[in-house]
Amino acid sequence: MMKVFVGLLLVILVGALIFWESLLVLAVAPPVPVTAQNQEPLVMDVAKGATLHGVSERLASEGLIRSAPLFRLYAKLKGESHGLKVGEYDIPRGAGPKQILEILTSGKSRLYSITFPEGSNIFEMASALEQTKVYNGVEFLRLVRDPGFVESLIGQPESSLEGYLFPETYNYTKYTTLKELVVAMVRNFTQAYQRASEGYKGALTREQIVTMASVIEKETGAPQERPLIASVFYNRLHKGMKIQSDPTIIYGYWIETGTPLKNIRKNDITKKSPYNTYVVRALPQGPIANPGYESLRAAMFPAQSDYLYFVSRNDGTHVFTSTYQDHMKAVRDFQLNHRAREGKSWRDLNKQPLPKGS
């Protein structure tokens, strides 16, 4: 008899809870009907330290719920009075308290994205981050050049993380820290490098490979050309020649002044700099940009060729030659010939046929 009584009591209690919860849902339901004029969701910012009291009052003031105290009572009945997650949430107009509470406790914050093109350097990345209004470009440059932080991520002392910040699209929230974003970029680099190096048996260090890949990346936007560009640089280094890459001059100037070099002048070509490959008979001091997967692969697996020179066709592709005589002819045909430059742009790369031999 006692068991029956206890069972009946439990049924009554559960029924009462369901009844009161139903009343609460009705009491908390949004007072303002959704119309064509108020369809935009409310962006609810739940910062660190935000309370259920403050959030519920905001919801009530915005017309998403009828009663802030009743919403708090509803959250307590659901065991979520302390379940709010830090984030930025889209609350649909007309959503019921159940849906609102689920959103605020989900942790699924509003996402933004930023794309770093292949070949972006740390200065260009800083500028792009500044545009987000979430991150500070100066703080980014300070972080990626912090000796302790750099070594903690790549396991060796370097002047910066240049070359190790993998270029691709990254999602972030208002509360994703700069450090978390940079860690993700280095993690993606590590994964890409591991994939690219499968089967590599060469003697170059990772730093040398990344440096070579960064120069390759800046010299061509045509994926099929990258192994050929790599072969030219390796052939020149093997013969004791300077690789003479213009992007290395530009980067050295950027490092020295903090501003990009718009036009290379004669004194820039002859200026002593550990990055100027018209002066040093080796690779630049370190990476000059952040290479993508294809350039990393090309740096480890260059094409087999006897090419020592390449000249832009002005459309994003190049003419490759083995002798200085042939090189000068290509210079005359494509650089000194005004007609060969008219209406041409590297942006037309995808419209042009690939160069023979690539």
- What does each of the 358 residues of the chain score in pLDDT, given as a tens digit? 555 444 455 545 544 455 555 555 555 555 555 555 567 888 999 999 999 999 999 999 888 888 888 888 888 888 888 889 999 999 998 888 889 999 999 999 999 999 999 999 999 999 999 999 899 999 999 999 999 999 999 999 999 999 999 999 999 999 999 999 999 999 999 999 999 999 999 999 999 999 999 999 999 888 889 999 999 999 999 999 999 999 999 999 999 998 988 888 989 899 999 999 999 999 999 999 999 999 999 999 999 999 999 998 878 789 999 999 989 998 888 877 666 555 444 445 554 444 333 3
Q: Is residue 18 part of a domain?
A: no
Domains in the chain, number: 3
Q: Quick count: other Cβ atoms within 10 Å of Cβ 49? A: 7
- Rounded to whole angstroms, the Cα distance separating 332 from 283 reads 28
Phi, psi of 109 (to 5 degrees): -70, 160
Whether residue 4 lies inside any domain: the answer is no
Q: Which of 51, 52, 58, 66 is nearest to 91 (CA)?
A: 58
Q: Are residues 160 and 298 in the same domain?
A: yes
- The answer to whether residues 171 and 253 belong to one domain is yes
Instruction: Report the distance separating Cα 96 and Cα 100, nearest Å.
Output: 6
Query: How high is the pLDDT of residue 347?
Result: 43
Domain match, 130 and 274 both: yes
Handedness of CA 123, 124, 130, 136 (dihedral sign): negative
Q: Is residue 68 part of a domain?
A: yes
167 shares its domain with 142: yes
Instruction: Among 305, 321, 350, identify where a domain stops.
Output: 305
Domain that holds residue 48: 41-110
Q: 110, 130, 149 — which closes off a domain?
A: 110
Q: What is the pTM of this model?
A: 0.83
The pairing of strands 169-172 and 112-115 is antiparallel
- Domain shared by 227 and 131, yes or no: yes
pLDDT score of 296: 97
Radius of gyration of the chain (CA): 30
> 129 and 217 share a domain?
yes
**Given this model, what pLDDT does residue 15 score?**
47
Instruction: Clarify whether residues 194 and 263 are in a common domain.
Output: yes
Residues 233 and 269 in one domain: yes
Which residues is 90 bridged to in the sheet? 43
Last residue of a domain, one of 80, 110, 140: 110
CA distance 329 to 358: 20
A 10 A CB-CB count for 342 gives: 8
- Does residue 149 sit in the same domain as residue 294? yes
Note the pLDDT of residue 46: 93
d(CA 356, CA 354): 6
Position 247 scores a pLDDT of 95
What pLDDT is stored for residue 355 in this prediction? 37
| Predicted local confidence at residue 291, as pLDDT | 97
Considering the domain architecture, whether residues 165 and 247 belong to the same structural domain is answered as yes
Q: Which helix (H) or strand (E) holds 169?
A: strand 169-172
pLDDT of residue 341: 52
Please tell me whether residues 138 and 276 are part of one structural domain: yes
Rounded to whole angstroms, the Cα distance separating 115 from 128 reads 8
SS3 call for 318: strand
Q: Are 142 and 161 in contact (CB under 8 A)?
A: no
Residues 6+ apart with CB under 8 A from 341: 314, 334, 335
- Cα four-point dihedral sign 228, 231, 235, 240: positive
In this structure, what are the phi and psi dihedrals at residue 81, rounded to the nearest 5 degrees?
-65, -20
Do 222 and 322 fall into the same domain?
Answer: no
- Distance CA(138)–CA(129), nearest Å, equals 10
Sign of the Cα pseudo-torsion (273, 278, 281, 282, in order): positive
